[in-house]
Amino acid sequence: MYIPMGNVVICGYARSAFTPANKGELRKVRPDDLAGNVIKGLIKKSGINADDVEDLILGCAFPEGEQGMNLARNVVFLSGLPMSTGGVTVNRFCASSMQAIHQAASSIMSGSGDLFIAGGVESMTRVPMPGFNPMLNPSLIDINAYIGMGHTAENLAKKHSISRLEQEEMSLLSHQKAFEAQNKGKLDDEIVSVDGVKVDGCIRPETSLESMAGLKPAFDKEGVVTAGTSSPLTDGASAVVVCSEDYAKSNNLNIMAYIRGMAISGCSPEVMGIGPVISSMKALKRAGLDLKDIDIIEMNEAFAAQSLACVKELGIDMSKLNIHGGAIALGHPLGASGSRITGKAASLLQTEGGRYALSTMCVGGGQGCATVLERAY
């Protein structure tokens, strides 16, 4: 059944360069400063009136240390937004910034504002996984609620009979697509310079099947998942402008895409990477669409095994998937990835053509999150 979303639009997208944690060029940048610089860049790029922004909704997977307190409110101060703009920090692990977009869209549909900035940030250098002081509930340990992400990828590889070579081929393709996009300048417009850093640092053009074949399994000594087929620990921030269509048109903003469907789903933590399957199907149904109607698919590559399991389950056409590379090549700064892939999907609809796009991702703990967009003409 088609459920109308109302006229909620995306009118801007920006991100920082994504660089390797602990050794990349953003390792010395505080996450609040990183997000603040991206928001500044987004305001300038989109041409919005900062005084009209109702709320900054900022996702972060491990909101402690330098990305703790109410991070979003602190970023309001650092980004040049006025004191009148609110700030709220949300956490849905890897989907935190896609949740921020959903929250902004829901607020607009309920009449609780016209203009929002939704995004996310993660410095995996400054706040390592799983945070500084995790205090796990013993009863949840018994049901694998805290299972390591790499082990969930191994579980999916076994369940879906995904070979190591298949994973390495997908990883190689991700790096090749990202390197080509970088060389052709197709990533330049989305990246805001932060401390002079404007080039992604996780892309490895020298990657080959031969080099990956020599890597040891990363999570299970008898397993098939390696560092080469996993997204790297990454520092980065991203954000999008979310507003009502009426506001966009009355303020002459560039409408990139309409939000047509949103969904969350849950699954077993032991196979959390399959989460995008159900959430994507729900979001598509709410948009009145089928997967065959989708022209652009941005799916977060947490692991090649995880992505391939979703590709097989959904029947995804690989030619539509992550056409400028995915997180294995670009990086996965947890709280920032959801707004990156959604903003990227909106951007690709404008630059590459097509009518509909899907952004979708898995979430630690066993969830999926998905957004359907329609190109604005």
253 and 360 inside one domain: no
Comparing CA positions, the residue from 9, 11, 15, 25 lying closest to residue 327 is 15
Nearest to 260 by CA among 326, 359, 339, 377: 359
Q: Are residues 339 and 370 in the same domain?
A: yes
Shared domain for 267 and 363, answered yes or no, is yes
Among 57, 46, 43, 119, residue whose Cα is nearest residue 86: 57
Active site residue 94: yes
**Do residues 358 and 331 touch, judged by C-beta distance below 8 A?**
no
49 is a domain residue: yes
Nearest to 225 by CA among 233, 216, 234, 238: 216
Burial class from Cβ neighbours inside 10 Å (0-12, 13-18, 19+) for residue 196 reads exposed
CA 267 – CA 184 distance, rounded (Å):
39
Domain extent, residue 112, equals 8-127+233-257
Q: Which among 225, 257, 289 is the end of a domain?
A: 257
3-state secondary structure string, 307-330? HHHHHHHHCCCHHHECCCCCHHHH
Per the rule left: phi > 0, alpha: psi between -120 and 50, beta: everything else, 157 is alpha
Could you tell me if 170 and 304 are in contact, meaning their C-beta atoms sit under 8 angstroms apart? yes
Cα 228 to chain centroid, rounded:
20
3-state secondary structure 268-292: CHHHHHHHHHHHHHHHHHHCCCCHH
Same domain, 309 and 295: yes
Asked whether residue 208 is assigned to any structural domain, the reply reads no
DSSP string, 83-137: TTSEEEEE-BTBTHHHHHHHHHHHHHHTTS-SEEEEEEEEETTTS-TT-S-----
Does residue 204 lie in a domain region? no
Whether residues 290 and 334 fall in one domain:
yes
308, 129, 371, 97 alpha-carbon torsion, rounded to 10°: -160
Q: Give the pLDDT score at 32.
A: 98
Give average pLDDT by consecutive 10-residue segment, the chain, 377 residues.
70 98 98 98 98 98 98 98 98 98 98 98 96 94 95 98 98 98 98 98 97 97 98 98 98 98 98 98 98 98 98 98 98 98 98 97 98 96
- Identify whether 214 is part of a domain: no
| Angle at the Cα of 54 from the Cα atoms of 248 and 79, rounded to 5 degrees | 95
Sign of the CA dihedral 29, 177, 226, 369? positive
Do 47 and 161 belong together in one domain? no
- Return d(Cα 368, Cα 152) in angstroms, integer: 14
Retrieve residue 9's tokens.
């639009």
Same domain (yes/no): 242, 317: no
Residue 34 in domain:
yes
In total, how many domains does the chain have? 2
Q: Are residues 163 and 285 in the same domain?
A: yes
Distance separating alpha carbons of residues 4 and 258, to the nearest angstrom = 11
Confidence (pLDDT) at 31: 98
Q: What is the pLDDT of residue 377?
A: 87
Residues 368 and 249 in one domain: no
Whether 362 sits among the annotated catalytic residues: the reply is: yes
From 11, 60, 94, 369, the catalytic residue: 94
Backbone phi and psi for residue 130, each to the nearest 5 degrees, phi listed first: -100, 45
| Per annotation, catalytic residue among 11, 60, 267, 362 | 362
Structure-block tokens of residue 356: 């509909």
**20, two tokens:** 């390797």
What angle do helix axes 164-183 and 304-314 make, rounded to 10 degrees?
Answer: 100
Task: Please indicate, yes or no, whether residues 84 and 153 belong to a single structural domain of this protein.
Answer: no
> Could you tell me if residue 246 is inside a domain?
yes
Question: Do 179 and 309 fall within a single domain?
Answer: yes
The domain that contains 105 carries what CATH number? Answer: 3.40.47.10
CA distances from residue 77 to 4, 25, 81, 263, 351 in whole angstroms, order as listed: 36, 24, 6, 31, 33
pLDDT of 5 reads 55
Residue 49, Cβ neighbours under 10 Å: how many? 12
On whether residue 299 sits in a domain, the answer given is yes
Which tokens belong to 166?
Answer: 């298949």
User: Which of 222, 257, 292 is a domain's end point?
Assistant: 257
Residues 276 and 363 in one domain: yes
In a domain, 311, yes or no: yes
- Of the three residues 200, 222, 257, the one that is the final residue of a domain is 257
Among 66, 347, 47, 354, CA closest to 189: 347
pTM of the full structure: 0.97
